[in-house]
Structure 1
Amino acid sequence: MQATYHKYILNFKRPSGTSRGVMIEKETWFIVLEENGKKGIGECGILRGLSIDDRADYEEKLHWSCSNIHLGKDKLWEALLEFPSIQFGIEMAFQSLISENPFLLFPSDFTKGKKSIEINGLVWMGEEAFMKQQIEEKLANGYKCIKLKIGAIDFDKELQLLRYIRQYFTPEQVEIRVDANGAFSLSEALYKLNQLSEFELHSIEQPIQKNNTDTMSELCRTTPFPIALDEELIGVFSTEEKEVLLQKIKPQYIILKPSFVGGFRGTQEWISLAEKYNIGWWITSALESNIGLNAIAQWTFLLNNIMPQGLGTGALYTNNYNCPLEVSQGQLWYRTELNWDLNTADFI
């Protein structure tokens, strides 16, 4: 078996804002396996500035992984504990290699085009008018769940946007999730949660910065509506550490990005612990290309989680790979009549 790795830069169609800044491009890496004339491809979905494996030795570790591909998927997963995006890329590449079709990793009614995955519509941070425009587009496109990035513009303006949605749509008609990406200060978080509760939100992701577990635990205990941990899970490697974290904070939900938490295996560990402690969960992408998103979506369908998932990111880029994934009326479909267009992927 031979393994190679390749860098690819995805360009956003428009600058995309979070409380940590504005993104105009996204770096990603692909691992390609080749054996007996067959190829398998995996995506290492690193997000600079957020991924725990955003380290100076990242490419060096990719090189090491390809040089030691003979160790196999399981031993490599153990050796790459501190590089969750590479764990995911390796898992995905091995699954791709053993599949009849390198892009049909987990056959199901989803990949047959018979069933879909409900997803949330993502509204990026920006000026009030831009956010309002995005909200209107998502609602017009049939989304029953929208997720707003908050914490970058004036908080009162963000409240106005939520008020605008609730003027026209009840919680039964449109579920609203908000994601603060850790933007609230420890002292003001509960006050802001109480203000947000007026709009009957489904949940808020990561209201405060990670590693403030005492405050986060208190917030989860006293919050007027559910809190979901996201960044808090990044860099928690062992099963024991994961369990200690969930026992201490007792969140209402956790949000799982396979590229951030150790691929399918790492995600499944979190799911098992969450269900043990009656904590809800859902899966989201980490802004991978359609190659990684395709694998995550196929795997997610098999989990039978009926909540809207965060998998609607395929249309963000100008130079993504065309694929069978298609969003329609707030649902992600696998259109069997559509083909992959990999003309720009000279490494496949």
Structure 2
Amino acid sequence: MAWIPSTRLVRARWAPYRIPFRAPYVTARGVAEHRRGYVLEVETEMGLRGLGEASLDPHAPEQAVDSIGVYLEFIAGAVLGKDQDAAGAALKRYLSGDDASRAAHCAFETAIIDASCKLLDLPMAPFLREALAFRPGNSLLEDIPVNAVIGADATDQAAEAAKASVMNGFGCVKLKVGAAPTTEAEVERVAAVREAIGPKTRLRLDANGAWDRATAIERIRALERFRPEFVEQPLPMDDLEELGAVSEAVRTPLAADESAATVEAAGRVIALGLRPVVKPMRLGGPVTACAVQGIATVFRIRPVVTTTVDTGIATAVALHVAAAGAHTGVAHGLGTLGLLEDDLILDPGLPVENGRMRLPAAPGLGVKLDEAALTRYSPGWRETRL
């Protein structure tokens, strides 16, 4: 962490949250009623505080989510009071672990950068570009296009939600697919959504790994008449070779989400010519997420940055990563806060207006924790200090 201003952490506290979805979150992987994760706050020896968040996929098992808390405690014990180099080395070990380990790494990395940016009086996005020498070739974006997300609901509900999104200013809609029992049923559902949003709105399809190779080819070919911008994760995450074969068999571009969960995996995805879905949470933090964007840019591929359906803290992380990438014309998957009963951040929050989310001007993440809201959804803080 040589790019972080020299400072020691003297306190860390974290709190689990359990926030209801406004409506059941339905994908090909199942139905989720609540969003679980952890909020992290660190404090430096100079009294500066930084926020972070750790969560897994909304369908992750309860035990896996619980393990995040264990990792947060381990990391806190490893980095508090250490000098910059020792703390960085201790934290880095958790970047190569499982999903929960990387999520905990993301939380600490985010919180440390948030506190550091407050010291420098600089928002996180320009800090990432300058500190990491991340030069995508475009100016920093401050107004980010985002896509709407439509779950795998019944056809009429999906069409109604998609139409409402367009009326609210979204120029891009991502529709969850993969739950339909037949190709005909999938076609009927996508046709209804395309009719609802009109011919000019961009349409993305996300299968969440629901299909095998033959089914993916059959269904993507059947859906190409509706001009999807791309189809995301048509196969399970481990079938990368098969994903490449599907890409060669269809005209529609493919994107990889679960298959791009680490920087190494994302590199393989990019080498196949596929579009990586960059999730800072899953990759382990904003630094790795920016690295994946840089690799994609070298290959002339424009990645899509998305949340993992997080609260406002991790959504702000993804927003800063998207802004740092500066890929103009790309709608990013950041408009997910409305899916949750509460975003855990104080007003003005991160509103989506006319299908766009604006980068906060305040230093660091630019958002503040709503302590009262957290109290409603959390049993309380656990704290470690020197």
State the TM bucket, normalised to the shorter chain: 0.7 to 0.9
Q: Which amino acid aligns with 1:28?
A: G
Range that drifts further, 304-313 or 291-300: 291-300
Q: How does 1:1-348 map to 2 (within 5 A)?
A: 1-35=10-44, 36-47=46-57, 49-50=59-60, 54=64, 57-70=67-80, 71=82, 72=84, 74-80=88-94, 81-82=96-97, 83-100=101-118, 105-106=123-124, 115-154=142-181, 155-167=183-195, 171=199, 173-234=200-261, 236=262, 239=264, 242-247=266-271, 250-306=272-328, 307-321=330-344, 322-323=346-347, 324-334=349-359, 340=368, 341-345=370-374
Question: With structure 2 as the length reference, what TM-score do the two structures score?
Answer: 0.78
* Deviation, structure 1 residue 41: 1.4
Contact 1:40 1:102 in 2 (8 A): no
After superposition, the Cα gap between the structure-2 partners of 1:233 and 1:59, relative to the gap in structure 1 and judged at 3 Å, is: same
Contact 1:41 1:93 in 2 (8 A): yes
Secondary structure of 1:194's counterpart equals: helix
* Deviation, structure 1 residue 175: 0.5
After superposition, the Cα gap between the structure-2 partners of 1:328 and 1:20, relative to the gap in structure 1 and judged at 3 Å, is: same
- Distance in 2 (CA, whole Å) between partners of 1:252 and 1:203 is 10
* Deviation, structure 1 residue 335: 7.1
After superposition, the Cα gap between the structure-2 partners of 1:59 and 1:100, relative to the gap in structure 1 and judged at 3 Å, is: closer
* Deviation, structure 1 residue 280: 2.8
Indicate the percent of aligned positions where both proteins have the same amino acid. 19
- Distance in 2 (CA, whole Å) between partners of 1:231 and 1:156 is 26
Contact 2:142 2:358 in 1 (8 A): yes
Unaligned ranges ≥5, structure 1: 109-113
1:146-186 deviation line (CA, Å, top 9, x unaligned) = 00000113443332233234446665x21000000011122
* Deviation, structure 1 residue 145: 0.5
* Deviation, structure 1 residue 141: 0.9
Contact 1:96 1:104 in 2 (8 A): no
Q: Which amino acid aligns with 1:223?
A: V
After superposition, the Cα gap between the structure-2 partners of 1:196 and 1:332, relative to the gap in structure 1 and judged at 3 Å, is: same
Question: With structure 1 as the length reference, what TM-score do the two structures score?
Answer: 0.86
After superposition, the Cα gap between the structure-2 partners of 1:30 and 1:211, relative to the gap in structure 1 and judged at 3 Å, is: same
Q: Which amino acid aligns with 2:325?
A: L
Coordinate RMSD, CA, aligned: 2.9
Match of 2:130 in 1: none
After superposition, the Cα gap between the structure-2 partners of 1:224 and 1:132, relative to the gap in structure 1 and judged at 3 Å, is: same
Range that drifts further, 40-49 or 330-339: 330-339
* Deviation, structure 1 residue 105: 4.1
Contact 2:169 2:354 in 1 (8 A): yes
Q: Which runs of 4+ in 1 moved over 6 A?
A: 101-104, 335-339
Secondary structure of 1:344's counterpart equals: helix
Range that drifts further, 56-65 or 15-24: 56-65
Q: Which amino acid aligns with 1:293?
A: T
Count of residue pairs the alignment pairs up? 336
After superposition, the Cα gap between the structure-2 partners of 1:27 and 1:191, relative to the gap in structure 1 and judged at 3 Å, is: same
- Distance in 2 (CA, whole Å) between partners of 1:57 and 1:142 is 39
1:109-155 deviation line (CA, Å, top 9, x unaligned) = xxxxx942100011111112211221111111121110000011344
* Deviation, structure 1 residue 288: 1.1
Q: Which amino acid aligns with 2:335?
A: G
* Deviation, structure 1 residue 24: 0.7
* Deviation, structure 1 residue 55: 7.0
1:161-214 deviation line (CA, Å, top 9, x unaligned) = 33234446665x210000000111222211111101111110000111121222
* Deviation, structure 1 residue 260: 0.5
Q: Which amino acid aligns with 1:158?
A: E
Q: Which amino acid aligns with 1:284?
A: T
After superposition, the Cα gap between the structure-2 partners of 1:103 and 1:194, relative to the gap in structure 1 and judged at 3 Å, is: farther
- Distance in 1 (CA, whole Å) between partners of 2:318 and 2:196 is 33
Secondary structure of 2:282's counterpart equals: coil
